[in-house]
Amino acid sequence: MKKLDRLFIIVLDSLGVGALPDAEEYGDLGANTLGHIAEALPLKLPVMESLGLGNILDVRGISPASAPRGAWGKAASRTKGKDSTVGHWELAGVPVDQPLPTWPQGIDSAVIRDFEEAIGRKCLGGGVASGTQIIAELGARHVETGFPIVYTSADSVFQIAAHEEVVGLEKLYHWCEIARKTLSVGRVIARPFIGQEGSWQRTANRHDYALPAPGKTMLDALQEKGCPVVAVGKIADLFAGRGIDESWPTKSNDHGMDKTLEIARQEGKGLVFVNLVDFDSVYGHRRDVRGYRDALESFDFRLGALLPLLRNDEAVLITADHGCDPVFKGTDHTREYVPILAAGPPMSPVPLGCRNSFADIAASAVDLLVGPAVWSGPAGESFADTLVQEG
């Protein structure tokens, strides 16, 4: 039986809550995104604290609530991989057993050659790199030659950086489409930037070209039942637009939450699936602990404005897609548990325990919005009955 009219799922992109048992395989032993931020700097998250954030894990400065206002728990990943694409696929009910291809030694030279031939010009870079560092290194040469800067990371990504005033967005996006057609990586990403040597700046015109999820997602399952799916932030990119009725791309976390608040103020039905990517791309990869802390506090404040807007049949669930510990070595994601906090008038403040897969969130969301019968994917286990008790 359907239990909710509308559910907001907000993904705090990269907010891990401690290393997974297999973290060593990823070189991530001891990672803890939220825990380490709170150890490094004073952190106040009164709204999430009241929902039960401190009941999920020990976080300095955040106490366990004796009477939490929300349900709380965490989830392990069953997917082989720790990036945004596969993380979101698993959250949506499609864990991936086969890791997507990566280039740990840099992009294959044959791949670069083919790409150069396809776009009719040479490329710069090609290695495993941090986006801001490689632009600092090669930006001037790029401006001089017009050759795109290509690079990868520990993730399954082919990233193309180009200056907006040298190459132009249209051409950059076109190059990405060319790369997307031939590559089997999880994502091709356009990384436009502006500015001059010494003060390059990446812009919000980033665009991700993901593969479609290799299975039926909760978005597909909901759509099949006529239940609307609204995407905020980069959700539509991560699902290659599939299963989404309406998409609102955003320029920042605050913009994403402002849009979410605007949607919440209007009556509506279905799933509102929100991704707040700055935690990951602006702070996590840049190992900017202070920025990450400030962004968390800013989110918490806006969450405080969202909760009172929830109507009798509405709820919010907060989670993440992987970790990106800003105190950890390197600049990559970290293999971690993700938090689960759920609140709203119909929700019971209960422990949800440690879930075996992010996919439990998809199973629960579908169950809450249209009922269990519809779910036929490699679904997780629904905790909808624990969350909303029939009255």
336 binds Mn ion (CB under 5 A): no
- Member of 5, 13, 325, 360 binding Mn ion (CB under 5 A): 13
Binding site for ligand R1P (CB under 6 A): 83-84, 130-131, 153, 155, 157, 159, 189, 191, 281, 285
- Residue 157 or 257: the one with the smaller Cβ distance to ligand R1P is 157
- The alpha carbon dihedral of 211, 215, 219, 225 has a sign of positive
Q: Give dist(CA 167, CA 46) in Å, integer.
A: 45
Q: Tell the smallest beta-carbon distance from residue 363 to ligand R1P (Å).
A: 26
Q: Please answer whether residues 145 and 156 qualify as being in contact, where contact means their C-beta atoms are separated by less than 8 angstroms.
A: no
Choices 76-84, 104-112, 222-230, 288-296 (CB under 5 A): range interacting with Mn ion: 76-84
Task: At 231, list the tokens.
Answer: 């995407």
152 binds Mn ion (CB under 5 A): no
* Helix axes 289-306 and 253-265, enclosed angle (nearest 10): 10
Residue 280 annotated as lining a ligand binding site: yes
- Member of 49, 321, 325, 360 binding Mn ion (CB under 5 A): 321
- Residue 129 or 167: the one with the smaller Cβ distance to Mn ion is 129
The residues in 83-142 that bind Mn ion, with binding defined as CB under 5 A, are: 84
Q: Tell the smallest beta-carbon distance from residue 324 to Mn ion (Å).
A: 6
- Residue 159 or 357: the one with the smaller Cβ distance to ligand R1P is 159
- Residue 17 or 188: the one with the smaller Cβ distance to ligand R1P is 188
In the three-class reduction of DSSP (H, G, I as helix; E, B as strand; rest coil), residue 94 is classed as coil
- DSSP classification of residue 267: -
- Residue 55 or 281: the one with the smaller Cβ distance to ligand R1P is 281
- Member of 278, 280, 314, 325 binding Mn ion (CB under 5 A): 280
In the three-class reduction of DSSP (H, G, I as helix; E, B as strand; rest coil), residue 285 is classed as coil
Which residues, at least 6 apart from 308, have a Cβ–Cβ distance to it below 8 Å?
none
Q: Tell the smallest beta-carbon distance from residue 84 to Mn ion (Å).
A: 3
Which stretch of DSSP H or E encloses residue 117? helix 109-119
Residue 322 annotated as lining a ligand binding site: yes
Q: Tell the smallest beta-carbon distance from residue 281 to ligand R1P (Å).
A: 5
Residue 13 interacts, among ligand R1P, Mn ion, none and using kind-specific CB cut-offs from 5 to 8 Å, with Mn ion
Residue 130 interacts, among Mn ion, ligand R1P, none and using kind-specific CB cut-offs from 5 to 8 Å, with ligand R1P
Residue 333 annotated as lining a ligand binding site: yes
Residue 321 interacts, among ligand R1P, Mn ion, none and using kind-specific CB cut-offs from 5 to 8 Å, with Mn ion
Which residues, at least 6 apart from 119, have a Cβ–Cβ distance to it below 8 Å?
148, 175, 178
- Residue 35 or 81: the one with the smaller Cβ distance to ligand R1P is 81
Tokens 């030659």: give the residue: 145
DSSP 118-157: HHTS--EEEEE--HHHHHHHHHHHHHHH-PPEEEE-SSSE
Residue 33 interacts, among ligand R1P, Mn ion, none and using kind-specific CB cut-offs from 5 to 8 Å, with none
Choices 64-72, 78-86, 190-198, 232-240 (CB under 5 A): range interacting with Mn ion: 78-86
Cα separation values, 73 from 109, 116, 185, 210, 351, Å = 45, 48, 32, 29, 6
- Residue 70 or 186: the one with the smaller Cβ distance to ligand R1P is 186
Which residues, at least 6 apart from 315, have a Cβ–Cβ distance to it below 8 Å?
4, 6, 7, 8, 342, 343, 344, 345, 346, 347, 368, 387, 388
- Residue 315 or 318: the one with the smaller Cβ distance to Mn ion is 318
Q: Please answer whether residues 153 and 188 qualify as being in contact, where contact means their C-beta atoms are separated by less than 8 angstroms.
A: no
Q: C-alpha 62: how far from its chain's center?
A: 24
List contacts with Mn ion (CB under 5 A). Answer: 13, 84, 280, 321
- Binding residue numbers: 13, 280, 285, 321-322, 333
